[in-house]
Structure 1
Amino acid sequence: MMLGMVGLGRMGANLLRRAMAAGIGGAGFDRDAAAVAALVAEGARGADSLPALVALLPAPRTVWVMLPAGEITEAALRELHALLAPGDTIIEGGNSLYKDSARRAAEAAAKGLRYLDVGTSGGVWGLQRGYCLMIGGEDAAVRDHDALWRALAPGEAAAPPTPGAAGDGRAAQGYVHCGPSGAGHYAKMVHNGIEYGMMQAVAEGLDLLRRGPFPAMPLPEVTEAWRRGSVVSSWLLDLTAQALAADPELKEYGGVVSDSGEGRWTVDAAVEHAVPAPVLAAALFARFRSRGVENFADKALSAMRKGFGGHLEPKAPDA
């Protein structure tokens, strides 16, 4: 098998590296020639255009598009539709709106192509830790790529087993077939909405510790202790403790917290389906508020975003 990757940014490049480390051949294309050259130096085959990338891949081809949601992804898919042959597979792993994924699957099917929407979580640590993969599309296409999912996912050793867990074992390895086209990106959308809520809870708690009745509260030590045996232990807490250990006042961070769009779509879906989601909505609105008056909680949110995704928020002009 050979995987063609379109988009060699923080996620795409490391996805290709992890696949190659598992013995899967890799080829990559990016408009940044330096990004392509870096992967070629590590054993991948490089292309300077989408037609050149497709020409490198043996049939039936698998092309993974890892680009920002929106027109840049749409343009790449349109071009691939003209370049690929019936039976080839397009995997779309960006943070796209699930309704767009369902439409794109129908457009690909009309040309005899298979389309899988794969919500991908793991951030800048995915190369080492593995990626959580939430997959939408036809079951046959999903199963035909099981070797790829196993290569990218953390594997069963990454977490203790859940007693009585349902499923066929794929979820225990870190990847799950969520349902038909669109289901993978829908699961990733809700995942990101939950992420907003969890991050907001940690950030507000830290602000309360810092500004409460014990002003000398040692936040780095408290969060480090919470990592061991606490019911709130998590990867987000790990990243927060790491940031506080390096800078207890989080002076590096301006506290202006961006939102990727997935949080907004999650709240939109909650309204559309009349599902109460007050915590997720409040966490999104808190990010909007962060673009006004800075506080410590917002700096903690910025620290977490940098920790898992490599996002360093710009400081406000007067910060």
Structure 2
Amino acid sequence: MQLGLIGLGRMGGNMRERLRAAGHEVVGYDHHKETTDVASLQEMVAKLSAPRVVWTMVPAGVTEATIDQLAELLEPGDIIIDGGNSRFSDDGPRAERLKPKGIHYLDVGVSGGIWGNTNGYALMVGGDAEHVAHCQPIFDALKPAGQFGFAHAGPVGAGHYSKMVHNGIEYGLMHAYAEGYELMKASELVENVPAVIKSWREGSVVKSWLLDLLDRALDEDPDLANLRGYADDTGEGRWTVDEGVRLAVPLNVIAASLFARFQSRQDDSPAMKAVAALRNQFGGHAVKR
């Protein structure tokens, strides 16, 4: 197949290489001249034969503008795929906006990070079955070999919703590993924490790719001394917790891991200052700088 791919950063660039290795023709566009195949969106569209398929992998802040630009360049029967970390509630309005022009829309949650070119990507797709089937050769090339790694999750919006939940779970898993790591570091008994982490990689019920990556990080820096204890969030964890509130689904672990990220950004927590003040007031537990 032919594919127009917009956004050739850490994810998009590797996707282009994996697709080309599978025999597909990819015309990539990026505003960085050293990575782009064409000079403009117009040139990219002109190189594609109808019905065209164009996949966007751009930051959430520019996705709407990119899709609006594409809508003026594409023709009825063409398909736009958004594989960025868009909020699922944006997908329905996009599809409705494109419908009068006869342009179809799919949303795809993509997981795999910088390792996707080698390992393949997990893909969660939202949209009409007909349009998913048309793009299936692309999805088959991107996913890992074998039966897993791809799901047609449901109608438009389902792909990004599934990826939102995926990332919420990821928050919780990462924080569980992090708490276990910290507890062993604090223990007077465990003398070789990296070795224990490594022992869990095979034969353990907590084995996972995330655990493999933690082991890799500890191989590079056994005490994580070169890292700052700061973790940002890109929105999906917040959206997941919002949905938990909306649907009255208790998300205790995911919510706690999200709030822990907020706490990591405070050099001197105002909340803990208030706790220290209260302990001093009722029990004389003074803590001074």
TM-score normalised over the length of structure 1: 0.82
Deviations 1:38-66 (CA, angstroms, capped at 9, x unpaired): xxxxxxxx111111110111111010000
Given the alignment, which residue of 50, 53, 58 partners 1:62? 53
The question of 1:196 aligning with 2:132 is answered no
Query: How far does residue 217 in structure 1 lie from its aligned partner after superposition?
Result: 2.4
SS at match of 1:10: coil
CA distance in 1 between partners of 2:228 and 2:130 (Å): 47
Given the alignment, which residue of 134, 151, 162 partners 2:124? 134
CA distance in 1 between partners of 2:234 and 2:108 (Å): 17
SS at match of 2:77: coil
The question of 1:212 aligning with 2:187 is answered yes
SS at match of 2:229: coil
SS at match of 1:90: strand
Deviations 1:106-155 (CA, angstroms, capped at 9, x unpaired): 11122101100000000000000000000000000001111111100002
Q: Residue 28 of structure 1 aligns with which residue?
A: 28
SS at match of 1:32: coil
Opposite residue 126 of structure 1, the aligned amino acid is G
Q: Residue 40 of structure 2 aligns with which residue?
A: 49
TM-score normalised over the length of structure 2: 0.91
Query: How far does residue 274 in structure 1 lie from its aligned partner after superposition?
Result: 1.0
Q: Residue 2 of structure 2 aligns with which residue?
A: 2
The question of 1:106 aligning with 2:96 is answered yes
- Preserved contact between residue 108 and residue 115 of structure 1 (Cα < 8 Å): yes
CA distance in 2 between partners of 1:155 and 1:266 (Å): 29
Query: Which residues of structure 2 form unaligned runs of 5+?
Result: 269-289
Q: What RMSD in Å do the two structures reach over aligned CA positions?
A: 1.1
Moved over 6 A (4+): none
Query: How far does residue 27 in structure 1 lie from its aligned partner after superposition?
Result: 0.5
Query: How far does residue 191 in structure 1 lie from its aligned partner after superposition?
Result: 0.2
Query: How far does residue 219 in structure 1 lie from its aligned partner after superposition?
Result: 1.4
Given the alignment, which residue of 224, 231, 256 partners 1:250? 224
Query: How far does residue 255 in structure 1 lie from its aligned partner after superposition?
Result: 1.1
Query: How far does residue 293 in structure 1 lie from its aligned partner after superposition?
Result: 4.4
Opposite residue 151 of structure 2, the aligned amino acid is V
Which of structures 1 and 2 has the bigger CA Rg?
A: 2
- Preserved contact between residue 150 and residue 173 of structure 1 (Cα < 8 Å): no
- Preserved contact between residue 134 and residue 187 of structure 1 (Cα < 8 Å): yes
Deviations 1:260-319 (CA, angstroms, capped at 9, x unpaired): 11111111111111111011000000000011249xxxxxxxxxxxxxxxxxxxxxxxxx
Q: Residue 238 of structure 1 aligns with which residue?
A: 212
Query: How far does residue 90 in structure 1 lie from its aligned partner after superposition?
Result: 0.4
CA distance in 1 between partners of 2:208 and 2:267 (Å): 28
Given the alignment, which residue of 86, 92, 96 partners 2:86? 96
- Preserved contact between residue 118 and residue 133 of structure 1 (Cα < 8 Å): yes
CA distance in 2 between partners of 1:218 and 1:292 (Å): 30
- Preserved contact between residue 3 and residue 16 of structure 1 (Cα < 8 Å): no
Query: How does 1:161-310 map onto structure 2 within 5 Å?
Result: 172-214=147-189, 216-293=190-267
CA distance in 1 between partners of 2:191 and 2:237 (Å): 32
CA distance in 2 between partners of 1:197 and 1:191 (Å): 10
Opposite residue 139 of structure 1, the aligned amino acid is A
CA distance in 2 between partners of 1:195 and 1:62 (Å): 30
- Preserved contact between residue 90 and residue 116 of structure 1 (Cα < 8 Å): yes
SS at match of 1:110: helix
Deviations 1:217-236 (CA, angstroms, capped at 9, x unpaired): 21111111000100000000
Q: Residue 287 of structure 2 aligns with which residue?
A: none
SS at match of 2:71: helix
- Preserved contact between residue 219 and residue 244 of structure 1 (Cα < 8 Å): no
